[in-house]
């Protein structure tokens, strides 16, 4: 039987993380392991001269399965959530105006 620490080490060693800029979700680096992700995020933040909240990281699966984006005729970006809304029979959607940052729910 494996201990908690052994299992934690196994899961951390196989998880792939994406380091990204929080303002525009631009992918900056990819590493394997949680500790490696923390260290790489710190390194990238210092090399780019950014603040702590400007650089974030998450697992690759979660990063890539986020909101799906498209653009309508008025130039608004429409984001579709990965979460299903059973009461409406569809996925949560929101429209974002790129010029002002205003948002609008789509029913």
**Co-location of 27 and 58 in the same domain:** yes
Return contacts of 4-10, CB within 8 angstroms, 24+ apart. none
pLDDT attached to residue 63: 73
**Co-location of 78 and 28 in the same domain:** no
Chain segment 19-47, per-residue pLDDT in tens? 988 888 888 988 988 888 899 999 999 99
Which of 62, 107, 97 lies closest to 77, judged by CA? 97
Given its phi and psi angles, is residue 49 left (phi above 0), alpha (psi -120 to 50 degrees) or beta? left
Chain segment 68-91, per-residue pLDDT in tens? 555 666 666 777 777 787 887 877
The stretch 89-100 carries a mean pLDDT of 78
pLDDT surpasses 70 at 65: no
**Helices and strands (DSSP H and E) totals, the chain:** 3, 7
Domain membership of residue 97 as a residue range: 68-106
Token pair 């996925």 in the structure block, residue: 91
Number of domains making up the chain: 2
pTM attached to this predicted model: 0.52
């Amino acid at each position: 039987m494996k201990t908690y620490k052994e299992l934690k080490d196994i899961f951390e060693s196989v998880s792939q993380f994406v380091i990204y800029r929080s303002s525009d979700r631009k992918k900056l680096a990819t590493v394997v392991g949680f500790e490696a992700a923390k260290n790489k995020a710190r390194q990238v933040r210092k090399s780019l001269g950014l603040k702590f909240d400007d650089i974030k990281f998450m697992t690759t699966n979660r990063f890539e399965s986020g909101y799906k984006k498209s653009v309508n005729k008025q130039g608004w970006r429409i984001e579709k959530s990965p979460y299903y809304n059973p009461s409406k029979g569809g996925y949560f959607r929101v429209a974002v105006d790129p010029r002002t940052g205003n948002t609008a729910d789509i029913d």
